[in-house]
Amino acid sequence: MTDSTAKKYPDRATRRRRSDGERSRTAILREAAQLATVEGIGGLSIGRLADAVGMSKSGLFAHFGSKQELQLATMETASEIFVEHVLEPALRAPTAIERLRALAANYLRYIEAALFPGGCFFASVASEMDTHPGPVRDVAIGFMERWLALLATTVREAQAEGAIDPGREPEQLAFEIEACLLLSNALFVIRPDLAPTDRARHALERLFAAAALPEADSGR
């Protein structure tokens, strides 16, 4: 990932400096994110969350001033979870093709870990809010667009390294990778077993093999 791309996601060093009050707020938001993937981000309100976490509405108002503020804060927390489980481990890979493979593999592990009962948080929210204009939709769609852009950028970097055929269109390959990931997520939510993610791994391996230069593929 390039430095400019990384800056679009939360900085964990900054997150570590939270006060006890902020950590309490984060715990509430993690519960809110769980709830949102089951009942929908549109149904997430201070009253509903207060019931779920056993707090008073007035207590939650100390953290969030409105339903929309709660929704947006929940999405920020879900983004941080995605960064922690999917993006950050991939950044440690030394080459672009390894980063690309790691991004896809980490996403599948993120699904299998069942961190959210409704599957990938942003896939859930983007699907729910796609026809509901407003700040919540904008954040969800923006996250998905950045994720696709990151995949495409990593493909370009792998092409520059000679690991992927330069004739392959990066955006198309990113689209095909994301198609595998999203379908595995949807099927895993319906029936939480490993068959969908295993099928996605097989499909992704074929994609990467087809996209690789012959010498890069044989030397791997």
Residues near 213 by Cβ (< 8 Å), separated by ≥ 6?
A: 162, 163, 164, 165
Q: What stretches in the chain show pLDDT beneath 50?
A: 1-4, 6-7, 10, 12-20, 216-220
At 213 the pLDDT is: 81
At 16 the pLDDT is: 47
Residues near 117 by Cβ (< 8 Å), separated by ≥ 6?
A: 34, 37, 38
Question: Could you read off the pLDDT of 24-39 as tens digits, one per residue?
Answer: 888 889 999 999 999 8
Sketch the domain layout of the chain as residue ranges.
3-218
Of 27, 25, 67, nearest to 47 by C-alpha is 67
pTM over 0.75? The answer is yes
CATH topology of domain 3-218: Tetracycline Repressor; domain 2 (1.10.357)
Distance of CA 9 to the CA centre of its chain: 11
Question: Could you read off the pLDDT of 130-164 as tens digits, one per residue?
Answer: 888 899 999 999 999 999 999 999 999 999 999 99
Phi, psi of 64 (to 5 degrees): -135, 130
**Contact yes or no for 192/138 (Cβ under 8 A):** no
At 60 the pLDDT is: 80
At 14 the pLDDT is: 44
At 125 the pLDDT is: 92
Q: How far apart are CA 197 and CA 212, in angstroms?
A: 22
